[in-house]
Structure 1
């Protein structure tokens, strides 16, 4: 019989899918690595087991303990999947810009969720960093994985994401493009690709307008799970060759296009990454191979990016879709 011992064993080996319609006019091959095929729906599933294994080995996390982490949602789901199997409780601290859909997903996996204000400095006592630190002090047996500084995050991508991309492109990869959040994905994947391919692969980080990585004008932005207002210790900037800076409007418009034109229901950071990848690919020759990592599923954004009223209320354009229904058919009918 062929089966997995638990759902946590299904992490990794996500597929590459060619983008066809949004790449119109581009000669290069642009492949999307679809991370929502991980059981928890995102690339963050990859880091959870390594982080928890290391904490168990060094005694930071003991039987019956509680995992407390600041997260935009995806890391929380990955940690919750592993925690379920090992008998740990989870408390996740999220900024209030995180959609209620994503908070509901965390609760569905059995976690408790604490919501904090988004637009405060990292060292503000009400920031999700500070609140998580306080909860670790107040909850007996609590452990904070601290994905922003934990080396097991980048190591997970070095051991899995990078090798998968190199294997599946059969060494033909020329460009790797991904959003930068905690920095773990680009640092670990980029380091692996550097080791196997040297300078023949270009590593490009995609960053929201307002983030510290690609500009000096640091301010809030709506896209979730990417960008930062400080330099995380887990991030290795030396692996990055270039950055593409993308606005929220561009990110969200592409996110909606990916659903309607490519059949990929993904989050806003995926749309952002694709905008960056298409800029990179625009002038490349036909033998170039660009892989762009799409970090998560769109299920956590249905009430935001995929909701026309939310989009227009925030000042974002919504492309009208003509109905094929006769006018009388759009009226509600009672049984």
Structure 2
């Protein structure tokens, strides 16, 4: 098959069973490899969905500027979409995020503004800076944290793909929450297919999103101190708190034992999924964990 553009290759990522790192578990753990999307992450889905929605609503036209607050992956997705559809991009990214991500955004022709790690109420917070730029310069701000297309595209694509490829054998969906879109969209779809299916959140220790204590952490792209509009906590049955050390250690195991090079958010999700699978009460069941992005963006970071 020949595609008319790279955007047509987004989605339909594979499910792969984690057979080595789960040998001591009672349940199966299957990973959905979202990092195999063309832009390298799960965010490709929402990048395309938000731009298409804006075009259909007449909010943007070719040559306009898109500004977004991003930990990196949504920026890459938007930059890829913008390159194909004719937009300029400016991204606001916290300084704690990988420099490799910033370089990747610039490789797509985007401008990157780095901000200090600041609380949501601070004018220096990356989301606040993006909002200010959108107002002052009349740029288009998708705002992945509240845009309805974010959970909707996961309801329309990610959830059905999981259900189809797992042949309906899904007892739990394990997701690290950044914007909440994957959990809310895919989780809602799967819950509609099977009301008994559990939704589990993998949250970094230091994030307050799941109710934990505020503190520093190095896992990128998930957690935080602000409850996103797209996060439906009613779909959450369990929250697993994962340390940086455990997440990064799991990343090393996934690479060396499963051949899967993933980022810290995926390692965090894998730890949570294995904790779920280690419960005797889940004997014979199946958990699906979302592997959000590739580990190639983090190879220069200390672990």
Q: Does the pair score TM above 0.5?
A: yes
Aligned match of 2:214: 218
Whether the aligned pair in 2 keeps the contact of 1:158 and 1:192 (CA below 8 Å) is: yes
Deviations 1:36-74 (A, max 9, x none): 110000000011121111112222223311110000110
Give the alignment partner of residue 299 of structure 2, picking from 302, 307, 317. Answer: 302
Q: 1: distance between equivalents of 2:226 and 2:209?
A: 8
Aligned match of 1:256: 252
Aligned match of 2:223: 227
Deviations 1:282-304 (A, max 9, x none): 02455311111100001110101
TM-score, length-scaled by structure 2: 0.97
Aligned match of 1:138: 136
Aligned match of 1:31: 30
Give the alignment partner of residue 151 of structure 1, picking from 144, 148, 153. Answer: 148
Q: 2: distance between equivalents of 1:26 and 1:117?
A: 41
Q: 2: distance between equivalents of 1:250 and 1:29?
A: 20
Q: 2: distance between equivalents of 1:99 and 1:47?
A: 21
Whether the aligned pair in 2 keeps the contact of 1:182 and 1:228 (CA below 8 Å) is: no
Q: 1: distance between equivalents of 2:122 and 2:26?
A: 48
Aligned match of 2:40: 41
Whether the aligned pair in 2 keeps the contact of 1:35 and 1:42 (CA below 8 Å) is: yes
Larger Rg over CA atoms: 1
Q: 2: distance between equivalents of 1:39 and 1:231?
A: 29
SS at 1:143's partner residue? Answer: coil
Q: 2: distance between equivalents of 1:256 and 1:153?
A: 30
Whether the aligned pair in 2 keeps the contact of 1:116 and 1:126 (CA below 8 Å) is: yes
State whether structure 2 residue 159 is matched by structure 1 residue 162. yes
Q: 2: distance between equivalents of 1:105 and 1:89?
A: 15
Q: 2: distance between equivalents of 1:126 and 1:283?
A: 43
State whether structure 2 residue 48 is matched by structure 1 residue 52. no
Whether the aligned pair in 2 keeps the contact of 1:123 and 1:129 (CA below 8 Å) is: no
Give the alignment partner of residue 281 of structure 1, picking from 273, 277, 281. Answer: 277
Aligned match of 1:69: 68
Q: 1: distance between equivalents of 2:62 and 2:24?
A: 56
Deviations 1:181-221 (A, max 9, x none): 1111100011001111112x111111011112222412221
Single out whichever of 275-284 and 54-63 deviates more from structure 2: 54-63
Aligned match of 1:99: 98
Residue 24 to residue 42, structure 1, CA distance change in 2 (3 Å): same
Aligned match of 1:209: 205
Residue ranges of structure 2 left out of the alignment (5+ in a row): none
TM-score, length-scaled by structure 1: 0.88
Poorly superposed stretches of 4+, deviation over 3 Å:
none
Whether the aligned pair in 2 keeps the contact of 1:92 and 1:114 (CA below 8 Å) is: yes
Aligned match of 1:266: 262
Q: CA RMSD in A?
A: 1.2
Whether the aligned pair in 1 keeps the contact of 2:205 and 2:212 (CA below 8 Å) is: no
Whether the aligned pair in 1 keeps the contact of 2:35 and 2:294 (CA below 8 Å) is: yes
Whether the aligned pair in 2 keeps the contact of 1:149 and 1:233 (CA below 8 Å) is: yes
Q: How many residues align?
A: 302
Q: 1: distance between equivalents of 2:212 and 2:249?
A: 25
